Amino acid sequence: MTFEHIPVLKNEVIHGLNIDPRGTYVDGTLGGGGHSGEILRRIPEGRLIGIDQDDAALQAADRHLASIGDNYTLAKGNFVEMKEILSELNIEKVDGILLDIGVSSHQFDTGERGFSYRFDGPLDMRMNPSDAISARDIVNTYEEDELSRIFWDYGEERWGKRIAEFIVNERKHEPIETTFQLVDIIKKAIPGGARRDGGHPAKKTFQALRIAVNRELDVLEEVIPDAVNLLKPKGRFAIITFHSLEDRIVKNQFKYLNLDCICPPRQPICTCDKKREIKIITRKPITATEEELAENTRSHSAKLRIAEKI
């Protein structure tokens, strides 16, 4: 299958990064290279570092970027490993960093990756296929209470406890191996009236499992302060998120890094030694234009936040 992925908020990202033609930029979620390609066009004297944990994405991006220039380096890994990857490349500081959080259209549309409830395939969901834990492992081995917690914390699924109960009962008879097996269980667990409320009944459960498999919220929270430390003064950090759990993390992390003091308000003398590290460029997240919404359905939930290193 051809790796197809339309980059969301492309113009807004390029504008927000305030690109220096001689600068060094990191795309920590390379995908098919849509955003990276636009960055590469604007840095004829600079350097682009692209990171992704998906081999198919790296191959597709390499083909795309090679048609634009040769001043780029690709690395396989999770963006949370950005500090180590740049160190191996002898890069101490960069001028800009981009993260486009979530699953690519290609991953969703490739049934054998197991990300989508629309295609029957192995219950996998690993962004890095060599990772140890898959969705199948979680569904077939986790205790009912832990499954219920995952469905609520990561999917805000109000029927999560009931879905977890049905999963545990079903797996007593046979392992849950495929996406459609899981979809059938979810449909049985959610009452008919609730399923008619709109949207696919498996959407929240699949989102929750994907987040748990790939530790998406944990690595996002971990990478933000590390990435800010890698920026040169005036360097920009742009993050695109696709649901409220991700956006809340970015908003709160940016807010904390923007503070110059975290002492209690009534304390007369500052003793925290907290220093302001960033300036928030986007007080409210940037969302897609009406034109982009009409052309790219994936952009509907996209939110872009940008910060600048002090």
Cβ-count burial 240-272 (b if 16+ within 10 Å, e if not): bbbbebbbebbbebbeebeeeeeeeeeeeeeee
What are the strands, taking DSSP E only, across 146-207? none
> Is 121 labelled a binding residue?
no
Handedness of CA 50, 34, 129, 98 (dihedral sign): positive
Helices (H) and strands (E) in the chain, counts: 14, 7
> Is 34 labelled a binding residue?
yes
What are the strands, taking DSSP E only, across 4-111? 24-27, 47-52, 72-76, 94-100
> Cα dist. 113→129, 191, 218, 240 in Å?
9, 28, 22, 23
By the 10 Å C-beta count (0-12 exposed, 13-18 middle, 19+ buried), 22 is classed as exposed
By the 10 Å C-beta count (0-12 exposed, 13-18 middle, 19+ buried), 192 is classed as exposed
Q: Is 234 helix (H, G, I), strand (E, B) or coil?
A: strand
- Residue 56's nearest CA partner among 114, 102, 106, 112 is 106
Output phi, psi for 303, to 5 deg.
Answer: -135, 130
> Is 52 labelled a binding residue?
yes
Binding residue positions: 33-35, 52, 79, 100, 107
Binding residue positions for S-adenosyl-L-methionine: 33-35, 52, 79, 100, 107
